Every structure is written in C-alpha cells, then in structure tokens.
Chain A
Amino acid sequence: MKRTNDLIVGLVVIGAVVSTTLSIAWVKQSDLGRTQRDVTAHFRDVGNTRVGNAVVVRGVVGGRIQAIELAPGGWVNVRLKLDPSVRLPSDPVVLLNESSLFGDWQATVVERSALPADAKVRAEVAEASSEPGMLPGTSLPGIGELTAVAGQIAGDVATVATRFGTAFDDVAARELHESIRNVSDLSSTLKNVANAHASDLDSLSRQLQRTVVTLDRAASSVELTAKRVDSAATSDDARRLIDNFSVASLELRHTATQIRALSSRLQTTEAKIDDVLTAGDSVLTKINRGQGTLGLLLNDPTMYRRTDSVLTELRALVSDLRNNPKKYISVRLF
C-alpha cells in the first residue's frame, strides 16, 4: 500500500512537472535541441519590443528575439535567434514595428534599399551602421504616435473648416454664385467668338504652321551657316579675314578721330557763321527799318528818284559829251 502510494504520488508529481514544462516550452515556442544562430542588431530605441517577439524575413517568421540589453553610448542591442534555414538579405536592416493594433511588435529584416522613404528612418539606420558586426536597425513609429499625428492633422483640418465656414457666409455664397454665372456667360461668349472666328483661327493656324516651317528651315540654314562659320573660323582665310578686320577697325578708329576733329572745327565755323548771320540779320533789320544809308537807299523812294534823275542827267551828259566833245574837252598842245 505504501509503495503504491509512493508510486502514484511520484507519477502525478512528475507528470504535472513534465506537462507544465512542456506546455510552457510549447507556448513560448522554445526550440529544444535545435541549433540556431544568433544575430545582434543595434538600435537607439526598441519601442515596445519584448523578448520572444517574432523575427520576420520577407513576411515569414524566421526566429525570435532572444535578448534585449542596454549598450554603451545610448544604444540598445537586440539579439535575434534565427532558424538555420533563414537567409538574410545582402545588406540587411532590422526594423522594429507593430505587427497588429493590439500592441504586439515584431522585428522585420529587410534589404537596406527597401527602407521606407523617411529621412529620419534612413538617418537612424545610417547612424546605427557604424557598429561593426551588428545589423543596423531602427524602430518605426507606433500606432499611438501615428494616431497622435493624425489627431493633430484632424485638429488642423477642423480649424480650417471652421475658418472656411466663418468666411464662406451667405454674402460670399451669393458672390460666388454670381461669379460662377459670370464665368458661365463669359464662357458662352468665348464659345461664340471662337465659333465665329474658327475659320480665321484655322487660317491663322495654317499660316502659323507655315511660319513655323519657314522658321524651321531658317533655323536649319542658320545652323548650317553657323557650322560653316565654325569650320571656316578654323582656316587661314578666316585668320586673314580677321586680321583685315583688325586693320580696318584701326583705320576706322583713326577716321573717326579725324571726323571727330573735323566735326569740332565745323562746330566752330558754324558758331562763326551763326555770329555772321546774326550780324547780317541785324544789318538787314536796320536796312528794313530804313536806318542807315543803305536803309535809306532801299526804303526811301526819294533817293531812288533822285538817283534815277541823276542817271538820266548823266545819260544826257554823256550823250551831250558824245555829241559835243569840244564843249567839255579841250586839247591843247602847248
């Protein structure tokens, strides 16, 4: 009886211990007797990651997080226990992220080129890459952080909506309605104009097209000419031409200097002529006014008549002299 008791109690105790141990091992997915390899990743922050979380490679669970420990310099080292069959990418990076909405996290191993296009994430990975022998890693924002940002955005949108509601009152609505109607009228007017001038526009378009073709040809010609000039610029003729141009330029400069001097002298002469004309003008003015002898001669008819009378008398005198020379001329010899 006593031995039976011992046996039964022993069996129950051992059975309970073994069952409990195996159950815990199964629940924790402990790998009893399987060889696995350790990989250590380097993080600034591991978020809510815990020991036992899954390690996912290309969407497949390929291991578990074995340990999380603080490292010098403000780093956190996470040791991953991977199945032997798991092949990591050529340039692996470990991302810690939430695997569901209920707080469980996982470590995702990705190729560096497949990192999210987020400057902060890439900077953290680059910083974590400095540690040799460890995979660089970073933690992605959790649902809480994303929700907080979304909440902030929602608040901003609500503010904008409130301001829009304040600004968009009945008057603004009526004005907007009026504007839309005006735009509609304008649109129909433009449509009519477009219909009326459709043929002109077609013609214009054709002309424009021809012009474009012509311009294209001209451009081709210019291009061709430019090529020729370019090729010519490299020959001796072009060099001589340039030298000639240089000489001509010097001569032109000399001629310009002379012309500038001539122009200066002409200006002086012009000033003198101007003075002469002014003086002449003054004289003519005086003559017109009848001042001076010449003025009197030109303006006083009496003088004219007297002169005419003198001439008449002179003519008579000459005639008389011809007729009667002896009356006026007496020649005596001794």
Chain B
Amino acid sequence: MRLPSRPITTGKAMRSPAAAIEQIGSVTIRGIKSIGVAAHFVGDVAAGLRDAKLVARESVVQARRLGVDSLPIAIFIALFTGIVLALLANYSFTGAVPLYFVGTLVEKTITLELAPVLTGLALAGRVGANIAAELGTMRVTEQIDALETLGYDPLSFLVAPRVLAGIVMFPVVVAVAMIVGCGAAWASSISLLHLSSGEFAKGLRLFFETFDVRYGLVKSSSFGLAVTMIGSAQGLDAEGGATGVGRAATSAVVYSAVAILTLDAFWAVTWLLGRESAV
C-alpha cells in the first residue's frame, strides 16, 4: 500500500521536453494510484463491517479510548476557547455593537467552527497518532501477520471498530466541547465583562438555529472518519521498525490535520454556501 516516494525533478534539472512530459505523467499516475489505493482501503474497511458482532464489541473499547478518554483535552480546549472568544468579542464590539452580541458571536463561532475544528485537530494529534503508532507497531512486530494467519481480518478486527468509534464519538466529544465552550464564555462574560446572564442569553438566542449544531456535529463526524482512516492506513503501512512507526504517527497527524481543514472547507462550500443561496 505504501507509495514509492520519488523526488519531483525541478524545471532546471529537466533536460528535454520529453523528460518533462514523462515527469507530468508520473505524477499523474501516482496521484490516481493513491486515490485508488485510498478508495480500495475504504472499500475494504466497509467490507470489514460485515462482521458486525466483532466490530461492535471492539468498537465499544475503541469508543472508550478514542472518545471518552479524549474528553478532558476537548473540555480543556473548549474552556479556554470560550473564555478567550468572549474577551475578543468584547474587545471588538466596544463602543460600536451592543455587548449582548458577545453571546451571538460565541454561539456561532463555537458551534459552527471552533468546537469541531479545534477538537478535531486535538483528536487528530491524540487519536490519529495513537492509532498509527499502535497499528504500526503491530505491523512491524508482525502481529497483524499473525492475526491474518489465525484467520482474522485485520480490517474487521482492527480498523473498522476504530473508524466506527471515531465516527460516533467525535460528535459526542464535540457536543460536549460546544456546551463547555458556550458555558465558559457565559461565565467569563458575567464575571469579566459585567454582562448580565439575560443579556448573554439574549445574544445567544438571537440568531441561533438548530442547523448550527447539526452542521458542527456532522462535520465532526466526518473528521472522525478521516482521522481514524488516515491513522489506520498510516499504521498498517508502517515499516522499518521504530523509525517507521514514528514516521507513520507523524504522517497520520499531519495528514489528519490537512484532511480536517480540507473537509472543513468542503462542508462550508457545499452546505453553508448552499444554505445561504437557499435563504
């Protein structure tokens, strides 16, 4: 599954038009091949879900490790995000906009963007690296080969439960982060900005829509899918001992972060933009 890494030749090093055309073709083939490999991997994982009993049993364990154990870091991030956001809103609105708009800004930014993305990035570091390191270690120590020898499908036994747990637990963690972030902003508004609870609630309710929460949760679910899939793929591709495992963990975090930001833009373009035009 690992793609051969070949440095791309710069324009100065190319000696003839034929070599340049060859280079373009090579890059294109590698790109298509990587898409095909990724699609094949997704198909294999989906096929691995057929063993529902095994997947369900392992998913609960992974849900505990990936989701419940990630709650402290998610709450910590949401706590400080809410506080800082309220102070930033107050700083921006001073003298121009009524202060109860702090609630509006906090609600919109936390539910639509900050809670899903910041929590997703944090979990990409924690969960993605964890999965890549664990599966990579199993790969380099030939435990996965042993499983295959024993008749276990590694995708059903190792990958599918993690992916399922990521899809389910990421929205749970993000929902908690949303509540904690808004609560922290509310508390800081009352204690630091001398904003009344009623005013903050008025701003919070002013432009609130259930869609905001739905959008954030669906987006975080896609982040969970991407992070677990990338971590699993990188871990299964690990080779070369501890160095390979470290490289796989690093790649998993980097690719997961890139995937999260790309998916964030994707959802904004496809869902938010469509919603604006519909209104």
Contacts and interface: CB of A to CB of B under 8 A. Distances in A.
Contact of A27 (B60, B68, B175, B204): B204
A16 B213 CA distance: 13
B64 A5 contact: yes
Contacts, number: 58
A290 B82 CA distance: 148
Given A5-B61, A8-B64, A102-B101, A16 B175 contact: yes
B63 A9 contact: yes
Contacts of B205: 27-29
A13 interface: yes
Most buried by B among A6, A13, A100: A13
Interface string A1-38: 01001101100110011011001100111000000000
Given A16-B172, A23-B179, A102-B98, A6 B206 contact: no
Contact of A20 (B64, B208, B213): B213
A6 B60 contact: yes
A148 B208 CA distance: 29
Interface string B32-49: 000000000000000000
A17 B168 CA distance: 12
B71 interface: yes
Contacts of A23: 178-179, 182
B64 A19 contact: no
B64 A104 contact: no
Contacts of B210: 24, 28
Contact of B60 (A5, A20, A28, A102): A5
B112 to A, nearest CB: 14
A52 to B, nearest CB: 8
Give chain B's interface secondary structure class: helix
B166 interface: no
A16 B176 contact: yes
B161 interface: no
Contacts of A12: 67-68, 71, 172
Contacts of A5: 60-61, 63-64
Contacts of A9: 60, 63-64, 67-68, 169
B213 A8 contact: no
Contact of A104 (B63, B168, B206): B206
A19 B178 CA distance: 10
Contacts of B179: 19-20, 23
Contacts of B97: 102
Contacts of B208: 27-28
A65 B170 CA distance: 34
B88 to A, nearest CB: 19
Contacts of B182: 23
A17 B172 CA distance: 7
Interface in B158-179: 168-169, 172-173, 175-176, 178-179
A20 B68 contact: no
Interface string A46-83: 00000000000000000000000000000000000000
Nearest to B208: A27
Contacts of A24: 210, 213
Interface string B193-223: 0000000010011111010010000000000
Contacts of B107: 27
Contacts of B101: 102
A6 B178 CA distance: 24
A20 B175 contact: yes
A17 to B, nearest CB: 8
A29 B101 CA distance: 18
A140 to B, nearest CB: 20
A163 B234 CA distance: 78
A102 B97 CA distance: 9
B204 A8 contact: no
A27 B207 CA distance: 10
A28 B169 CA distance: 25
A19 B67 contact: no
B178 A20 contact: yes
Contacts of B71: 12
A63 to B, nearest CB: 15
Contacts of B57: 2
Interface string A254-290: 0000000000000000000000000000000000000
Given A13-B63, A16-B172, A29-B205, 11 more contacts: A2-B60, A2-B61, A5-B61, A9-B68, A12-B67, A12-B68, A19-B175, A27-B107, A27-B201, A102-B101, A102-B206
Across the A-B interface, the 8 shortest Cβ-Cβ residue pairs: A16-B172, A20-B175, A5-B64, A9-B63, A16-B175, A27-B208, A12-B68, A9-B64
14 contacts: A8-B64, A9-B60, A12-B68, A13-B168, A16-B175, A19-B179, A23-B179, A23-B182, A24-B210, A27-B205, A27-B208, A28-B210, A102-B98, A102-B101
